[in-house]
């Protein structure tokens, strides 16, 4: 192991034992004990001790520079461990460190700019270890000193600074020869290591701690604010939501209003019933359950099995409720409950009951299983009859305690029953008219028939029958066309019953007088068509107006219409209510159709006056004849007399619309002329006469119009009134038959219906006989 060099102060390249001769006095190192503090010394004024005061160097010790301060050893020795006189380090491990470093003293290191001494020390240059030369002016010299070095001296390359957590003790520098100095100068400088990077901010523990603290405080503050908000501002809403999860509801159905006849007899009403339903998820044995239910609810077994089978709802999820039967009687519902079948539900229901079954079914209509009106007056007045359902909401427990909580939330909204309707229909008269119509239509093999009974003074519909009809208690078992109200939907060419309107308008306008006569031949041409009378063998004769009505002369009626004019005829058609729905209250009422004068063709002058090219309903024609019977005043027909509130208060319906069409005198004259139809021998309507009463009316034969087209067959009709001297009722009968006129098909039906109506309402018989009419003056 090489020995540590001696500490003589001999000269060297940058030796530091003695002061160089060329060094200026002011640059010499200060003496010991000098009052000037030494830079880099721990005893100087720049580095006070713990006591707070600077401490001077002990006597006999030299100061040391920054380069010497780094000469710490791994064993904890300091630079104070020097020889008192030479100032050399007495570190016994220095030779060993020198061997580790390659057996040579460390090359001098060029100081970094930041390591340059601020004022120069000078004292380090006088050190005895030769380290001042290695430091390159770091502690004692400066650039000026280096510039004044002898020319023969070569400065060693800077020493590479080693990275170490502790200061390495540099090896003492030996004096080198010129050759060694030259070789050292040629040696490439060691690469300078970069200073270690400063760690990123987030790797700083203090920064991370501060950031985590801020985030935690922010989260806690947000949660606290939210809790306060929920507690003081949103707590009622959350309490309400929580209550909703514990509430159960039971609907209280509102009883549907009833429908009564004019005397208070029930035509349709609601009764308490039961429904039978199933939860498919709970049924264990389909076959056994269906077999047990079939005889009690009258539903086929195959249908029950299909309804009880498990299925998925359209929106997803299993179906948990399916009706098996609605409107089951209370007794049958109790029998189903007694079976205690898994998955079967029995609860309160309501059923619409129609005591008369098919009685006035076409007028009353029917409802769905949910009691919503679908047809007839049930649909027209559904909002009035239905009422408002009530409900009972109460708090229940959860799980096994799923029962009402005594003293818990409980609120009941009472159901508001629907109002009832009292119709103008008379139940007994309706039954007789409906029965008679069915019998007569069956005899005539008619396709469709209708009959209407009106009170001429009030416009009330006392009976309105249709053929065929259906059972309103089981509406789905009938055909859709059988459920139509024929009196308001049966659109026909009225035929000869229209002649009373033509003659009444001519009398009112003064176009003819009651005593006028007309020459009536076998036929007349209008446009491209011939119009003839039904009595084909007639020769041209003069005929009175009553005779024209009695024998239903087409030629005579056309002659009267020629004097009246098409504009006036059209005007009176509208005044008599043709071409406009009456508004009786039945949904789907047809309005009929009139031919305006501007659209008349040549043949229209012959067809319109006798009731062709005109579309009307039986109810419209009945209202027109009621105007003749009511001294010329047309009264709007109506079916509803009054409404009855749930508390029993009765409210009459709005008064019907009225208008004056004929003067009372002309109306009375026309009524007398119409009596000829039932009293003159051989007249077309003699079969409509009623014993003991004077009857005025008119027969007709027309065609049926369906979707604007005529259909095969003929429409026979008779419209009349009685007693003719003071009419009380008007009855119109229409029938679509394969063949036949009003005199053969509908006049007998009128006879039966009018006879019953007069006796049913106790109308006194006529005091006199009908007048004698002169047909051929």
DSSP 585-609: S-TT----B---GGG--TTHHHHTT
**Cα 456 from Cα 478, distance rounded (Å):** 34
Mean pLDDT of 512-517: 94
Task: Tell me how far the alpha carbon of residue 653 is from its chain's centroid.
Answer: 37
Q: Identify which of 33-47, 86-100, 402-416, 626-640 has the greatest average pLDDT.
A: 626-640
- Tokens encoding 527: 């446009």
496 is an active site residue: yes
Which spans in 123-177 are helix H?
A: 131-135, 143-147
Residue 82 phi/psi, 5-degree rounding, is -120, 165
Nearest to 92 by CA among 77, 108, 70, 107: 77
Of the candidates 171, 155, 163, 361, the residue with the CA atom closest to the CA atom of residue 259: 361
Q: Is pLDDT larger for residue 106 or for residue 237? A: 237
The helix (run of H) or strand (run of E) holding residue 777 is none
Query: Between these two residues, 673 and 173, which has the higher pLDDT value?
Result: 673
Of the pLDDT bands very low, low, confident and very high (cuts 50, 70, 90), residue 684 is very high
**461-467 and 448-455 strand pairing:** antiparallel
- Model pLDDT, residue 17: 39
H helices present in 298-346, as ranges: 301-308, 330-339
Cβ atoms within 10 A of the Cβ of 23, count? Answer: 17
Q: Is the pLDDT of residue 629 over 90?
A: yes
The lowest-confidence range among 143-147, 289-293, 355-359, 404-408 is: 143-147
**pLDDT tens track for 717-776:** 999 999 999 999 999 999 999 987 888 889 999 999 999 999 999 999 998 888 899 998
**Higher-scoring residue by pLDDT: 51, 739:** 739
Q: For residue 661, how many other CB atoms are within 10 A of its CB? A: 23
pLDDT exceeds 90 at position 318:
no
Residue from 622, 628, 635 nearest 724 by CA? 628
> Residue 131: which pLDDT band, with cuts at 50, 70 and 90?
very low
- In the chain, CATH 3.40.710.10 sits at 430-471+483-643+651-760
What is residue 57's predicted lDDT score, i.e. its pLDDT?
44
Identify which of 549, 571, 570, 580 has the alpha carbon closest to the alpha carbon of residue 720: 549
Is the confidence at residue 454, as pLDDT, over 90? yes
Residue 616 has pLDDT above 90, yes or no: yes
Res 614 pLDDT > 80: yes
In 576-726, which ranges are continuous DSSP H helix?
604-607, 618-629, 664-679
Query: 639: buried, middle or exposed (CB in 10 Å: 19+, 13-18, 0-12)?
Result: buried
Q: Which of 50-54, 431-435, 495-499 has the lowest mean pLDDT?
A: 50-54
Please name which of 538, 542, 645, 557 lies closest in space to residue 608, comparing C-alpha atoms. Answer: 557
Cis status of the peptide bond prior to 198, with omega within 30 of 0:
no
Q: Is the pLDDT of residue 172 over 60?
A: no
Sign of the alpha-carbon dihedral angle for 507, 512, 514, 518: negative
193, 164 contact by CB (below 8 A): no
pLDDT digits (tens, 9 = 90+) for 196-222: 666 666 567 888 888 889 999 999 999
Q: 281 or 38: whose pLDDT is higher?
A: 281
**Is 90 exceeded by the pLDDT of residue 389?**
no
User: Would you call 70 helix, strand, or coil by DSSP?
Assistant: coil
Q: Are 673 and 514 contacting, i.e. CB atoms less than 8 angstroms apart?
A: yes
Superfamily of domain 250-423: Penicillin-binding protein 2a (Domain 2) (3.90.1310.10)
The yes-or-no verdict on residue 174 having pLDDT over 90 is no
Confidence of residue 35 (pLDDT cuts 50, 70, 90): very low
Range list for CATH 3.90.1310.10 in the chain: 250-423
Strands (E), 627-691: 633-635, 640-644, 650-652, 658-660
Residue 6 scores a pLDDT above 50: no
| Bridge partners, 461 (sequence order) | 454
Higher-confidence residue of 634 and 87: namely 634
- Counting residues of the chain whose pLDDT is more than 90, the rounded percentage is 44
Question: What count of other Cβ atoms lies within 10 Å of the Cβ of residue 493?
Answer: 23
**Is the confidence at residue 117, as pLDDT, over 80?**
no
Cα(125)–Cα(390) distance, integer angstroms: 113
Q: Return the CATH class of domain 430-471+483-643+651-760.
A: alpha beta
Question: Strand 420-423 vs strand 259-260: parallel, antiparallel, or unpaired?
Answer: parallel
- Catalytic residue of the set 362, 420, 489, 496: 496
> Tokens 């920064």 sit at which residue?
207
- Neighbouring residues of 686: CB distance < 8 A, sequence distance ≥ 6: 678, 679, 680, 743, 747
The values of phi and psi at residue 4, to 5°, are: -70, 135
**Mean pLDDT across the chain:** 79
Tracing tokens 């270890």 back to the chain, one arrives at: 129
Q: What tokens were used for 634?
A: 């047309």
**pLDDT in the model for residue 160:** 46
CA distance 49 to 52: 6
**Residue 491 pLDDT > 70:** yes
Bigger pLDDT: 226 or 9? 226
Q: What is the pLDDT of residues 337-379, one digit of tens each?
A: 999 898 899 988 888 889 999 999 999 999 988 888 999 999 9
Query: Smallest Cα–Cα separation from 651: which of 354, 257, 364, 360?
Result: 257
Return the pLDDT at 187. Answer: 67
Angle between helices 301-308 and 286-297 in degrees, nearest 10: 130
Q: Is 90 exceeded by the pLDDT of residue 669?
A: yes
Closest residue by Cα to residue 491 from 709, 689, 727: 709
Between CA 499 and CA 46 the distance in angstroms is 141
Pairing of strands 410-413, 266-278: unpaired
**Of the candidate ranges 157-166, 362-371, 687-696, the one whose mean pLDDT is the lowest:** 157-166
pLDDT at 617 over 50: yes
pLDDT of 14:
39
Beta strands 658-660 and 633-635: pairing type?
antiparallel
pLDDT at site 30: 43
Scanning the structure block, which residue is given the tokens 């028939």?
449
If one counts every other C-beta atom within 10 angstroms of the C-beta of residue 275, the result is 20
| pLDDT-based confidence at residue 673 (cuts at 50, 70, 90) | very high
Per the model's pLDDT, the better-predicted residue between 636 and 740 turns out to be 636
Residue 351 CA to residue 412 CA, distance in Å, equals 24
């Amino acid at each position: 192991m090489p020995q540590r060099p001696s500490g003589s102060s001999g000269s060297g390249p940058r030796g530091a034992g003695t002061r160089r001769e060329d060094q200026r006095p002011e640059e010499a190192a200060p003496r010991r004990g000098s009052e000037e503090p030494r830079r880099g010394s721990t005893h100087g004024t720049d580095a006070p001790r713990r006591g707070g005061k600077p401490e001077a160097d002990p006597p006999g010790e030299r100061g040391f520079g920054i380069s010497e301060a780094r000469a710490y050893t791994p064993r904890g020795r300091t630079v104070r461990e020097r020889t008192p006189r030479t100032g050399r380090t007495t570190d016994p491990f220095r030779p060993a460190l020198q061997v580790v470093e390659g057996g040579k003293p460390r090359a001098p290191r060029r100081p970094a700019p930041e390591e340059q001494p601020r004022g120069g020390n000078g004292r380090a240059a006088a050190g005895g270890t030769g380290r001042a030369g290695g430091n390159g002016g770091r502690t004692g010299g400066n650039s000026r000193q280096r510039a004044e070095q002898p020319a023969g001296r070569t400065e060693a390359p800077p020493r590479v600074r080693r990275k170490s957590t502790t200061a390495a003790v540099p090896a003492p520098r030996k004096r080198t020869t010129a050759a060694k100095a030259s070789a050292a100068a040629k040696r490439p400088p060691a690469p300078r290591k970069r200073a270690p990077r400063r760690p990123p901010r987030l790797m700083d523990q203090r920064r991370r701690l501060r950031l985590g603290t801020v985030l935690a405080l922010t989260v806690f503050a947000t949660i606290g604010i939210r809790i306060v908000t929920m507690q003081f501002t949103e707590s009622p809403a959350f309490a309400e939501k929580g209550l909703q999860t514990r509430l159960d509801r039971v609907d209280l159905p509102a009883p549907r209003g009833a429908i009564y006849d004019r005397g208070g007899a029930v035509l349709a009403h609601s009764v308490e019933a039961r429904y039978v339903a199933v939860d498919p998820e709970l049924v264990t044995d389909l076959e056994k359950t269906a077999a047990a239910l079939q005889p009690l609810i009258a539903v086929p077994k195959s249908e029950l099995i299909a309804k009880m089978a498990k299925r998925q709802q359209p929106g997803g999820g299993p179906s948990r409720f399916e009706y098996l039967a609605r409107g089951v009687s209370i007794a049958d519902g109790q029998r189903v409950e007694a079976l205690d079948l898994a998955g079967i539900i029995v609860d309160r229901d309501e059923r619409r009951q129609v005591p008369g079954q098919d009685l006035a079914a076409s007028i009353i209509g029917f409802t769905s299983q949910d009691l919503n009106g679908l047809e007839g007056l049930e649909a027209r007045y559904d909002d009035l009859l239905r009422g408002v359902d009530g409900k009972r909401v109460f708090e229940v427990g959860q799980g096994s305690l799923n029962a009402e909580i005594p003293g818990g939330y409980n609120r009941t909204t009472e159901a508001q029953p629907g109002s009832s309707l009292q119709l103008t229909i008379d139940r007994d008269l309706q039954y007789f008219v409906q029965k008679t119509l069915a019998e007569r239509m069956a005899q005539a093999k008619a396709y469709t028939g209708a009959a209407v009974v009106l009170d001429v003074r009030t416009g009330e519909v006392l009976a309105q029958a249709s053929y065929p009809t259906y059972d309103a208690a089981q509406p789905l078992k009938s055909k859709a066309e059988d459920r139509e109200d024929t009196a308001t939907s049966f659109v026909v060419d009225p035929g000869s019953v229209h002649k009373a309107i033509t003659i009444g308008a001519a009398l009112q306008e003064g176009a003819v007088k009651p005593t006028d006569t007309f020459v009536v031949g076998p036929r007349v041409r209008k446009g491209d068509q011939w119009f003839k009378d039904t009595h084909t063998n007639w020769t041209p004769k003069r005929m009175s107006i009553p005779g024209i009505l009695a024998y239903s002369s087409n030629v005579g009626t056309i002659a009267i219409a020629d004097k009246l004019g098409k504009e006036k005829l059209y005007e009176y058609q509208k005044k008599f209510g043709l071409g406009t729905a009456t508004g009786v209250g039945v949904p789907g009422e047809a309005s009929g159709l009139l031919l305006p004068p501007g659209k008349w063709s040549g043949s229209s002058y012959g067809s319109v006056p006798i009731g062709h090219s005109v579309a009307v309903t039986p109810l419209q024609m009945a209202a027109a004849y009621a105007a003749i019977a009511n001294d010329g005043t047309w009264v709007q027909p109506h079916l509803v007399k009054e409404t009855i509130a749930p508390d029993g208060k009765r409210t009459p319906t709005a008064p019907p619309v009225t208008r004056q069409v004929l003067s009372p005198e002309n109306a009375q004259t026309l009524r007398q002329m119409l009596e000829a139809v039932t009293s003159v021998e051989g007249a077309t309507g003699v079969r409509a006469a009623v014993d003991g009463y004077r009857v005025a009316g008119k027969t007709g034969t027309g065609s049926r119009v369906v979707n604007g087209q005529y259909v095969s067959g003929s429409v026979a009709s008779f419209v009349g009134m009685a007693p003719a001297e003071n009419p009380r009722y008007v009855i119109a009968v229409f029938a679509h038959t394969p063949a036949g006129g009003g005199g053969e098909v509908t006049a007998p039906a009128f006879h039966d219906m009018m006879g019953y109506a007069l006796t049913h309402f106790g109308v006194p018989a006529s005091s006199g006989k009908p007048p004698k009419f002169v047909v051929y003056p």
